[in-house]
Structure 1
Amino acid sequence: MPDLVPPMLPATGELADATDPARWAVEFGWEGHRCVAYVRRGRVRLLSSTARSVTGSFPELAVLAEQAPPGGLVLDGTVVALDEAGRPSRGPLLRRTATLTPDAALRAEVPIGYVVTDLLWCDGRRVLELPYRRRRAELEKLALAGPAILVPPSFGLDEAELVVRTAEQYGLDGLHLKRLDVPYQPGRRTRNWLRVPLRRRRQVLLAGWVPAPGRPDRIAAVLLALPGPEGPRYVGRVGIGAADADARTILAAPSGPPPSAVPDGVAEHARWLAPGLAAAVEHRGRTAAGRLALPSWRGLVPDDERDDDLLDMPAAGGSQGGGPVSPDPVRDTGTRARDEARSRPRADAGAEARSRADAEPRSRAGADVHSRADAGARSRTGTDARSGAGPAGTDAAPVPAAGPEQPGTWHGPLSRRLEQHFVYNTLNTIASLVRTDPPRARELLLGFADLSRAADRAEEPTIRLDEELAAVRAYLQIEGTRFGARLSAEIDDPAAAGVDPGAAVPPLSVLAAVRRGVQEEIEPVPGGGAVHVRLVTDPGGPSCRIEIRPADAVRDPFVLFSVPLDVPEGL
Structure 2
Amino acid sequence: MTGSMISPMLAAAGALPAGPGWAFEFKYDGVRAITDVRDGRVEAYSRNLNDISGTYPELGELAGLLAGRSAVLDGEVVALETDRPSFARLQQRMHVSLPSPALVASVPVLFYVFDLLELDDQDLTSQPYATRRDILAGLDLASEHVRVPVRFLDVDGRTVLQAAELAGMEGVVAKRLASPYRPGKRSADWTKVPLIKTQEVLVIGWKPGAGRRSGTIGSLLLAVHDERDRLVFAGHVGTGFSDAALTHLQKELTALKRATPPVEGVPREHARHAHWVEPCLIGEVAFRNWTPDGRLRHPSWRGLRTDRAPSSIRRAPEPIPPPSQGTVIGAMQTPDGRWRVEAVRRNRQDFYRLIHGDNVIDGLVIATVQRLLEEAGVHLGDLVDVRTATSGAA
Length-normalised TM-score, structure 1: 0.37
Q: Contact 2:288–2:299 (CA<8 Å) still a contact in 1?
A: no
Determine the C-alpha separation between the residues in 2 that align with 1:82 and 1:115: 12
1:113 partner letter: L
Residue aligning to 1:195: 192
User: After superposition, where does 1:25-424 map in structure 2 within 5 Å?
Assistant: 25-83=23-81, 85-156=82-153, 158-198=155-195, 288=302, 301=334, 335-337=373-375
Task: Pick 1 or 2: higher relative contact order, CA cutoff 8 A, min separation 6.
Answer: 2
- In the alignment, the residues of structure 1 paired with residue 118 and residue 178 of structure 2 have an alpha-carbon distance, to the nearest angstrom, of 18
Q: CA deviation at 1:157?
A: 5.2
Kept in 2: contact 1:129–1:183 (CA 8 A): yes
Structure 2 segments unaligned to the other structure (5+ residues): 198-240, 242-268, 270-286, 290-297, 304-330, 340-352, 358-368, 383-394
- CA displacement at 1:41 relative to structure 2: 3.8
* Corresponding residue number in structure 2 for 1:347: none
Secondary structure at the counterpart of residue 106 of structure 1:
helix
Using the alignment, how far apart are the partners of 1:116 and 1:331 within structure 2? 30
Q: 3-state DSSP class of the match of 1:119?
A: strand
2:342 aligned residue: none
Q: 1 CA distance for matches of 2:354 and 2:87?
A: 31
C-alpha contact (below 8 Å) 1:131/1:183 kept by paired residues: yes
- 3-state DSSP class of the match of 1:56? coil
Match of 2:11 in 1: 10
What is the CA distance between 1:287 and its match in structure 2? 5.4
Query: Are the aligned partners of 1:129 and 1:184 in contact in 2 as well (CA < 8 Å)?
Result: yes
Deviation, 1:87, is: 1.3
Size of the alignment, in residue pairs?
234
Contact 1:25 1:178 (C-alpha < 8 Å) held by counterparts: yes
CA distance in 1: counterparts of 2:299 and 2:158, whole angstroms: 19
Q: Partner letter of residue 86 of structure 1?
A: D
Cα distance in 1 for partners of 2:196, 2:86 equals: 17
Q: Secondary structure at the match of 1:158?
A: coil
Q: 1:33 to 1:330 in 2, by over 3 A?
A: closer
CA separation of 1:189 and 1:109: change in aligned 2, threshold 3 A: same
Q: Contact 2:18–2:157 at 8 Å: present in 1 too? A: no
Alpha-carbon separation, structure 2, partners of 1:169 and 1:177 = 18
Offset of 1:97 from its aligned partner? 1.2
Amino-acid identity (%): 35
Q: Deviations over 1:59-93 (max 9, x none)?
A: 1111111122534010001111112x221111111
Q: Which amino acid aligns with 1:336?
A: E
Structure having the higher Rg: 1
**In the TM superposition, what is the alpha-carbon distance from 1:197 to its structure 2 partner?**
1.7
Q: CA deviation at 1:120?
A: 0.5
| CA–CA separation in structure 2 for the residues paired with 1:329 and 1:186 | 37
Q: Give 1:127 shift.
A: 1.3
Instruction: Tell me if the contact between 1:38 and 1:75 (Cα under 8 Å) persists in the aligned partners.
Output: yes
Deviation at 1:136, TM superposition (A): 0.3
Equivalent residues of 1:41, 1:69 under 8 A apart:
no
Alignment-mate amino acid for residue 10 of structure 2: L
Q: Secondary structure at the match of 1:107?
A: helix
How far did residue 129 of structure 1 move? Answer: 1.3
The one-letter code matched in structure 2 to 1:9 is L
Instruction: Return the offset for 1:299.
Output: 9.1
Whether the 8 Å CA contact 2:40–2:68 is kept in 1: the answer is no
Distance 2:168 2:72 in 1: 29
Q: Partners in 1 of 2:354 and 2:125 — Cα distance?
A: 47
| Kept in 2: contact 1:70–1:123 (CA 8 A) | no
Per-residue CA shift, 1:205-259, capped at 9, x if unaligned? xxxxxxxxxxxxxxxxxxxxxxxxxxxxxxxxxxxxxxxxxxxxxxxxxxxxxxx
- Asked whether the 8 Å contact 1:35–1:47 carries over to 2, the reply is yes
Q: Which amino acid is the alignment partner of residue 20 of structure 1?
A: G
Alignment map for 1:424-463 (pairs within 5 Å)? none
Q: CA deviation at 1:335?
A: 3.7
Q: Which amino acid in the other structure matches residue 144 of structure 2?
A: P
TM score, norm. by length of structure 2: 0.52
Please give the per-residue CA displacement for 1:295-337, whole angstroms capped at 9, x wherever unaligned. Answer: xxx997469x999xxxxxxxxxxxxxxxxxxxx9967996424
Alpha carbons of 1:286 and 1:176: their partners in 2 closer, same or farther (altered >3 Å)? Answer: farther
Q: Aligned AA for 1:58?
A: Y
Structure with the higher helix share, 1 or 2: 1
CA displacement at 1:341 relative to structure 2: 9.1
Q: For residue 19 of structure 1, what is the amino acid of its counterpart?
A: A
Taking the aligned partners of 1:166 and 1:192, their CA distance within structure 2 comes to 22
Cα separation, partners in 2 of 1:167 and 1:329, compared to 1, 3 Å: closer
4+ aligned runs moved over 3 Å, structure 1: 281-289, 298-303, 328-335, 337-343
Q: CA deviation at 1:156?
A: 2.1
Q: Is the 8 A contact 2:112 2:148 kept in 1?
A: yes
Separation in 2, partners of 1:282, 1:165: 20
| Letter of the structure 2 residue corresponding to residue 95 of structure 1 | Q
Counterparts of 1:329 and 1:53 in 2: how far apart (Å)?
A: 44
Structure 1 residues 80-121: Cα deviation after superposition (integer angstroms, max 9, x where no partner): 1112x2211111111101111100111111110101110001
Contact 1:40/1:68 (CA < 8 Å) preserved in 2?
no
Higher strand share: 2
